[in-house]
Structure 1
Amino acid sequence: MKKVVITGIGAVTSVGNTAADYWNGLISGKCGMRTITRIPLDKHDTTVAAEVDDSFEAEAGKYWKKRQLNATTTTTRMGLASAGEAIADCGVDTETYDGRKVGVIYGVIDNSFEDYELEKPLNITLKKMPNELPALVSIRYGFTGPSFNVSTACASSAYAIALGKQFIESGLCDMVVAGGISNTVTHLVISGFNQLLAMSVNPDPNTAARPFTKNRDGFIMGEGGGTVILESEESAKARGAKIYCELAGAAMCGEAFNLTAPKTDGVGMAESMRMALDNAGLTPDDVDYINAHGTSTGLNDLYETMAVKEVFGKRAYDIPMSSVKASIGHTLGAGGALEAIACIKAIETGLVPPTIHYDEPDPELDLNYVPNKPQEHKVDVAISNSFGFGGHNATLVLKRYEG
């Protein structure tokens, strides 16, 4: 079977507009949350979000023409900025590379064509197309392989990456541009999650999202976009590309249980991790870091902890596990890609990003959640969990590349 490697990364988040700035923000313990500015707050219980600063538009402008950007929503432009960065980072010559062998897959829940976006009533049909992001990437770079979006809630971009791996292993593609975008802050998003009692109502940006702590009360939404370039080892070596790591394994599975609640005791979460490790040909003893789904909700953090203990046994206490959602919020459709990038950088740097805002421990949650400060830790194998509404689960396995 073909080995799949990662040769490019790009990110737009509330703590940085590039992959490097995003990583530096995580490691420095930066909090990307603030009182919401995009919409009036008088009708909402939640008043905090991890909004992306408008300065990201300059990054998008480096790779895309103004007329292309004018036909998109803010959230789609975040994805375009991350795509442009990742494709530039991988160093591919798009004029000579066989575009027929390049796929483009993005996790897109929707393009957030709401609220302030309606003040610019041009290109309405284009802005509402959930497949606009992968279409624009294909058009811009001449990639004529499979191009589409996938929507599996908070696991969307992890599914995109897992599918990209399969496309390369099958020989359908030699390269896949894969990633996802989050929604931007809108009335419908905030009120919808408030109706489900899933979102924190803590008004303090510095404590609103605190995964794995005793007083956690829900997640905080995060804006952003993330892209990784998947490539066959053969293709990457042939063009002398820098290889960040190997995408050694991936799992996609459904819980068939509930639209919003995870399966009792984390049974489905554990199955996702086991399947991914089996796919990678690895065992629980091989894992050095877990990037948790870690939403800061009561059930997720409890059940994910239980699932990790079930899969890893006593080793669970020796493996650092952190949630970057405390820094960048829950980036929904972008989460799988952005959190995979955190794993990639952990492998590269030997630093594990912290779970910031970790204050009072929950007695039921007793693992090493990397509280507040990064930890030096050699990471040869990392896993990244994404567990979405509807029971859509995914786990990615990233491994140090051995050429």
Structure 2
Amino acid sequence: MKRVVITGLGAVTPLGNTVKEYWQKLVNGELGIRKITKFASDDINVTLAGEVKDFDPSQVLDRKEQKRMDLFSQYGLAAALEAWEMSGLSDAEINHKRFGVIVGSGIGGMTTLQDQVRVMDKKGANRVTPFFVPMVIANMASGNISIRLGAKGTSQTIVTACASATNAIGEAFRAIKSGAADIMISGGTEATICEIGIAGFAALNALNTTNDPKRASIPFDKERKGFVMGEGAGMLVLEELEHAQKRGAVILGEIVGYGSNCDASHMTAPLKDGSGAADAIAMALEEAKIQPEDIGYINAHGTSTPANDAAETTAIKHVFGAYAKKIPISSTKSMTGHLLGAAGGIEAVASVKTLQEDLAHPTVGYKVSDPECDLDYLTEGVRSIHAEYAISNSFGFGGHNAVICLKKWRDQ
């Protein structure tokens, strides 16, 4: 089995469109959730979202390409190119047939789908853009990244709702570990802040309807009432250890374990006892060949929904026992909102930076303690930590559970 290291990171988020800006705002506890500007949302009764701000697609795409690519693909490509440049692979001799891409997206080109249905309804079917299908289908983030970078190995898309990006990273990890690839770009991308996206989740009563950004996404708080929609992309360059060392790459971290399973219980609700999530965490630790007490940080799924936060807390207690209360835990979604299929991508980036910098970002907005959620959620601001291992949790509709285990890189 090969070892799998991380040599590049990329991010397009509600807190910034580079890893540097995103991470700095995370540790500062800044809020990326504001009033929706993409459309008038008053009739939906949801006014807040974690929108990407000041994104300039012309930095990675010419005008013609922009018209042929939905925003979810644009975000994904921009994050992938940042990770690619950071990795130094742009200047390296590589075997493109052993270079692959696996990207997660929960929905794909939802904005294009909405807009083109409107075009057809108002102007007729013959006015639908000929690029409708390649803009909408969820595999085109992976496809466009592969095309741009010449990745001729496996190119796949994972669609497991809010677990998509973490499943994608886990499957890319396995591809390298098994010897099937040398290099993988992996993560997630999503752009669902549009009328039908917000309305659909609002109809499920899944979204918080407050007008106060500071009390909108409040994971583990007793007054949590739903999540806040976010958008963006998070990407990692994964590389086989010897391949990275041979070319003198700067190694940012290592992936050592992956767990994936299904609750097989309910379309939208997690198991109340957290047993499915707990099993996925245990799988990741087992593959990493470590003990629960070795974990020094958890990036929680932490969506700010009543059922999810309680179930995740129960799952963590089940795996870690009494040690659970000693583990620093953050919810990135407290600042970015929930990026659905891209959430695990930006949270993996945050987890790598946490291990690199010995800093864990806060869970902002927390005020009211909940007896069901009684762990160390870092509600008092950024904290200095010394963790050798971290896990990042993602759980999605359909009962999908995905967990990756990361290790701090030390020259060895």
Shared fold by TM > 0.5? Answer: yes
Corresponding position of 1:339: 347
Corresponding position of 2:101: 104
SS of the equivalent of 1:56 reads coil
The reply on whether 1:203 has 2:211 as its aligned counterpart is yes
User: Counterparts of 1:111 and 1:382 in 2: how far apart (Å)?
Assistant: 32
SS of the equivalent of 1:93 reads helix
- Which one of the candidate residues 132, 151, 159 is aligned to 1:151? 159
Corresponding position of 2:11: 11
Contact 1:183/1:333, CA 8 A, preserved across alignment = no
SS of the equivalent of 1:181 reads strand
User: Counterparts of 1:71 and 1:384 in 2: how far apart (Å)?
Assistant: 34
Distance apart, 1:385 and its partner CA: 0.2
Corresponding position of 2:122: none
Distance apart, 1:70 and its partner CA: 2.4
Distance apart, 1:260 and its partner CA: 0.4
Instruction: Give a deviation string over 1:129-175, Cα, whole Å, max 9, x none.
Output: 22111111111111100112110000001111011011111211001
User: Counterparts of 1:111 and 1:125 in 2: how far apart (Å)?
Assistant: 9
2:370 maps to a residue whose letter is: D
Instruction: Give a deviation string over 1:346-376, Cα, whole Å, max 9, x none.
Output: 0011100110001111122211100041111
- The 5 A counterparts of 1:4-403 are 4-53=4-53, 55-57=54-56, 60-93=57-90, 96-109=93-106, 110-112=108-110, 113-115=112-114, 121=129, 123-402=131-410, 403=412
User: Counterparts of 1:49 and 1:121 in 2: how far apart (Å)?
Assistant: 28
Distance apart, 1:126 and its partner CA: 2.0
User: Counterparts of 2:63 and 2:92 in 1: how far apart (Å)?
Assistant: 22
Instruction: Give TM-score, length-normalised by structure 1.
Output: 0.96
Distance apart, 1:214 and its partner CA: 1.1
User: Counterparts of 1:150 and 1:218 in 2: how far apart (Å)?
Assistant: 25
Instruction: Give TM-score, length-normalised by structure 2.
Output: 0.94
Distance apart, 1:62 and its partner CA: 3.1
Distance apart, 1:65 and its partner CA: 3.5
User: Counterparts of 2:385 and 2:58 in 1: how far apart (Å)?
Assistant: 37
User: Counterparts of 2:380 and 2:340 in 1: how far apart (Å)?
Assistant: 23
Distance apart, 1:122 and its partner CA: 5.9
Distance apart, 1:303 and its partner CA: 1.0
Contact 2:114/2:196, CA 8 A, preserved across alignment = no
1:270 maps to a residue whose letter is: A
Distance apart, 1:94 and its partner CA: 6.1
List alignment gaps of at least 5 residues for structure 2. 120-127
2:323 maps to a residue whose letter is: R
2:385 maps to a residue whose letter is: H
State which drifts further: 177-186 or 312-321. 177-186
Contact 2:192/2:198, CA 8 A, preserved across alignment = no
1:334 maps to a residue whose letter is: A
2:316 maps to a residue whose letter is: V
Contact 2:5/2:251, CA 8 A, preserved across alignment = yes
Distance apart, 1:342 and its partner CA: 0.7
SS of the equivalent of 2:321 reads helix
- RMSD (CA atoms): 1.5
User: Counterparts of 1:372 and 1:358 in 2: how far apart (Å)?
Assistant: 9
Question: Measured at CA, do residues 346 and 145 of structure 1 come closer, stay the same or move farther in structure 2, by a change above 3 Å?
Answer: same
Distance apart, 1:63 and its partner CA: 3.4
List alignment gaps of at least 5 residues for structure 1. none
